[in-house]
Amino acid sequence: MVANRGYNSTSAKTRLRLIEAASEILDEEGYPAFTARRIASRAGLKPQLVHYYFRSMEDLVVTVFKRSSANYFRLHDEALSSARPLHALWRLNCHIPEARRMLEYVALGKIYPALRAEMRASGESFRALQIEAIENVCARRGIANPPMSAASLAAMMSAVARSIVIENNVAMTVGHDEIHAFVEATIDQYDPG
């Protein structure tokens, strides 16, 4: 007779190893390598264990994403609490490994609806936090007429950073330095150093 199929054992060591391996695979080889067999082999485990600990690949990818997201939340929170929150946020947005990973999730989102839902939830809440942080900066610095609204600054930062990463993936470079400098200059108007 079987089995609890440790779906819920959030602490099981082997389960964590799988999550870790899946995360590394996504970072190093991208979404096409996100398969049960590759992940298990990366973790030094039998492929069947993936379905012992996770109902399905969708379940796994959502779990991995949630972990990424929680991790990112810490960095994000740290950035927004720092002395110059907007610069810190911009630096975080431009952090290549994080941005690349998000791109893999975008691809996997085409396949797994539950992942899309999770991405939407976390994406919206990160953006809300950013908007709040930008408004706080404006209030603190007494900036009444900022160059752009808080929402559009937040959206622009993530759009530009994401785009640079996408284009780097195909070895494009034209305009990257310029747009990067422009965003930095814009941020400087809020949060001068």
Partner DNA sequence: TTCGGGACTGTACACCTGTCAAGTCGCATG
Partner DNA sequence: CATGCGACTTGACAGGTGTACAGTCCCGAA
From 171, 163, 184, select the one nearest 99 (Cα to Cα).
163
Q: Does 110 bind DNA (CB under 7 A)?
A: no
In three-state secondary structure terms, 32 is: helix
Residue 152 touches which of DNA, its own copies, none (CB < 5 to 8 A by kind)? its own copies
DSSP H stretches of helix in the chain: 13-29, 36-43, 48-53, 57-80, 85-94, 96-109, 113-141, 150-169, 176-190
Nearer to DNA, 32 or 123 (CB): 32
- Is 46:40 a contact under the CB 8 Å cutoff? yes
State the minimum distance, in angstroms, from the CB of residue 38 to DNA: 5
Q: Does 189 bind DNA (CB under 7 A)?
A: no
96 CB-near residues (< 8 Å, 6+ apart): 165, 168
State the minimum distance, in angstroms, from the CB of residue 7 to its own copies: 25
Q: Does 3 bind DNA (CB under 7 A)?
A: yes
Cα angle for residues 17, 18, 21 (degrees, 5° grid): 85
Binding site for its own copies (CB under 8 A): 30-32, 103, 106-107, 109-111, 116-117, 119-120, 123-124, 127-128, 131, 148-149, 151-152, 154-156, 158-160, 162-164, 166-167, 169-176, 178-179, 181-182
- Give me the helix-helix angle, 85-94 and 150-169, nearest 10°: 30
Nearer to its own copies, 23 or 122 (CB): 122
Nearer to its own copies, 12 or 128 (CB): 128
In the list 31, 52, 90, 190, the residue contacting DNA (rule: CB under 7 A) is 52
- The stretch near DNA (CB under 7 A) out of 1-9, 73-81, 91-99, 117-125 is 1-9
Q: Does 14 bind DNA (CB under 7 A)?
A: yes
From 94, 95, 104, 66, select the one nearest 157 (Cα to Cα).
94
Nearer to DNA, 35 or 189 (CB): 35
From 42, 60, 45, select the one nearest 14 (Cα to Cα).
45
* Binding residues vs DNA (CB under 7 A): 1-4, 6, 9, 12-14, 34-38, 45-52, 55-58
